[in-house]
A = this chain, B = another copy of it.
Amino acid sequence: MTDATPLTIYRDTVRPEWVDYNGHLRDAFYLLIFSFATDALIDRIGLDDATRQARGRSVYTLEAHVNYLHEIREGTPVRVDARVLAHDAKRMHLYFEMFADGHDGPVSASEQMLMHVATQDGPKSAAFDPDVAEHVAALHALQRDHAPPAFAGRVIALPARR
């Protein structure tokens, strides 16, 4: 059994420039917070800015899904927990949940597919370098036995379908 402790990867506070006419965090800025969480996770697998520059590497988002579960107001502190659901030689399937003070469950969830690229001759998809691949596999193994994520594998449709 692995430890079921979530991997908290990012913390922030809902900023004044992120709220809409209702005073609530605008939909796109939930994704910005998840995007900052992705940056933190990319650092965590050994691809910080300096390494990306030195090696000519980058990580691109191919697709992102966001579920909006609760409104949150300006000034609310939030945290993001991360999971690596799956990976192959050059891609990671990530899952995030955002939590906010005053809410028991998540206020939002996001699922993302990221691709590793070599940037030297125009960006081209490329296998993770061995040291990075090891970090990716370790993060995946860390939570492999956790309960399946609540908001992954979803399709948007009317009427709703799985």
Contact = CB atoms under 8 A, between A and B. Distances in A.
Given A21-B49, A28-B35, A156 B68 contact: no
Number of copies: 2
Nearest to A67: B63
A83 interface: no
Interface string A28-43: 1101101100100000
Contacts of A26: 32, 35
A19 interface: no
- How many of chain A's residues touch chain B, expressed as a range? 35 or more
B27 A156 contact: no
B67 A158 contact: no
Interface of A: 21-22, 26-29, 31-32, 34-35, 38, 49, 58, 60-68, 71, 85-88, 91, 93, 111-113, 123, 152-159
